[in-house]
Amino acid sequence: DAKTTQPTSMDCAEGRAANLPCNHSTISGNEYVYWYRQIHSQGPQYIIHGLKNNETNEMASLIITEDRKSSTLILPHATLRDTAVYYCIATRSGSARQLTFGSGTQLTVLP
């Protein structure tokens, strides 16, 4: 898996968009960008993933730069329940999905 770099922590006001950046400058052509989050004392939850096109689902949007060296996860209207550690992982979407988790970004949504 390519190495990813994320800020240690971020704050966001409730109701505002939360933009979480991730650098993956050594990502290879067949590696996807996955985002998971972990709310305190729970297992990780899948959010979204993409290869090179921007992606959107009911939880979030994923913006991947054209050179694929970085991406941004966007939570359009953050709520207090979005407070969690967010992990950006670059990995092949293959048959053996043991994921390598970095330190992630602690997002705190403030009232």
Partner 1 sequence: GAVVSQHPSWVICKSGTSVKIECRSLDFQATTMFWYRQFPKKSLMLMATSNEGSKATYEQGVEKDKFLINHASLTLSTLTVTSAHPEDSSFYICSALLNTEAFFGQGTRLTVV
Contacts with partner 1 by CB under 8 A lie at 38, 41-46, 87, 93-104
- Shortest CB 62 distance to partner 1, Å: 15
CB of 67 to partner 1, least distance (A): 25
Q: Which is nearer to partner 1, 43 or 111 (CB)?
A: 43
Query: DSSP states of the chain as a string?
Result: ----B--SEEEEETTS-EEEEEE-TT--TTEEEEEEEE-TTS--EEEEEESSS-EE-SS-EEEE-TTSSEEEEEETT--GGG-EEEEEEEEE--S---------EEEEEE-
Sign of CA dihedral 79, 83, 84, 87: positive
- Supply the minimum distance, in Å, between the C-beta of residue 76 and partner 1: 20
In whole angstroms, the minimum distance from the beta carbon of 46 to partner 1 comes to: 7
Q: Which is nearer to partner 1, 28 or 93 (CB)?
A: 93
| Cβ distance to partner 1 smaller for residue 42 or 53 | 42
Nearer to partner 1 (CB atom), residue 53 or residue 95: 95
